[in-house]
Amino acid sequence: MTGGGKQATAIPMVLAAIASVQVGAAVATELFDELGPVGTVMLRLVFAAAILGAVWRPALRGLRDERARDVLLFAVTLAGMNTGFYLALDRIPLGIAVTLEFVGPLGVAFAATRRRLDLLWAALAAGGILLLSPGLGDDLDLLGAALALLAGAFWAGYIVLSQRIGRVFAGGEGLALAMFVAGALLLVPGVATAGRELLDLELLAFGFAVAILSSAIPYSLELEALRRLPAGVFGVMMSLEPAVAAAVGFALLDQGLDAAQLLAIVLVVVASAGALSSAPPPAEG
Per DSSP, 74 falls in state: H
Share of the chain above pLDDT 70, in %: 87
Which has the closest alpha carbon to 258: 132, 77, 80, 143? 132
With contact defined as beta carbons under 8 Å apart, do 197 and 39 qualify?
yes
Q: Residue 138's CB: how many other CB atoms inside 10 A? A: 6
Which has the closest alpha carbon to 103: 117, 116, 84, 87? 84
pLDDT (0 to 100) of residue 158: 87
Residue 11 in this model has a pLDDT that exceeds 60: yes
pLDDT digits (tens, 9 = 90+) for 118-154: 778 888 888 887 776 655 555 678 899 899 999 999 9
What gap in Å lies between CA 146 and CA 220, rounded to an integer? 28
Residue 110 in this model has a pLDDT that exceeds 90: no
With contact defined as beta carbons under 8 Å apart, do 80 and 154 qualify?
yes
pLDDT band at 283 (very low <50, low <70, confident <90, very high): very low
Mean pLDDT of 181-194: 95
Alpha helices in the chain (DSSP H): 3-28, 32-56, 66-89, 94-101, 103-112, 116-131, 142-168, 173-194, 201-211, 217-226, 231-237, 240-253, 259-277
pLDDT (0 to 100) of residue 210: 94
pTM of the model: 0.84
Per DSSP, 171 falls in state: T
How many Cα atoms sit within 13 Å of 8 on the Cβ side?
A: 5
pLDDT digits (tens, 9 = 90+) for 27-82: 999 999 999 999 999 999 999 999 989 988 887 776 777 788 889 999 999 999 99
pLDDT (0 to 100) of residue 83: 97
pLDDT (0 to 100) of residue 4: 62
pLDDT (0 to 100) of residue 231: 66
**Burial class of residue 63 in the structure, from the number of CB atoms within 10 Å of its CB (0-12 exposed, 13-18 middle, 19+ buried):** middle
Residue 171 in this model has a pLDDT that exceeds 90: no
What gap in Å lies between CA 106 and CA 195, rounded to an integer? 37
- In the predicted model, what is the mean pLDDT of the chain? 83
What gap in Å lies between CA 146 and CA 177, rounded to an integer? 29
Listed as own residue / partner, the contacts of 56-62 with beta carbons closer than 8 Å and 24 or more positions apart are 56/171, 56/172, 56/173, 56/175, 56/176, 57/173, 58/169, 58/173, 58/174, 58/176, 58/177, 59/173, 60/177
What gap in Å lies between CA 229 and CA 153, rounded to an integer? 21
What gap in Å lies between CA 184 and CA 251, rounded to an integer? 34
Q: Hey, where are the domains in the chain?
A: 3-277
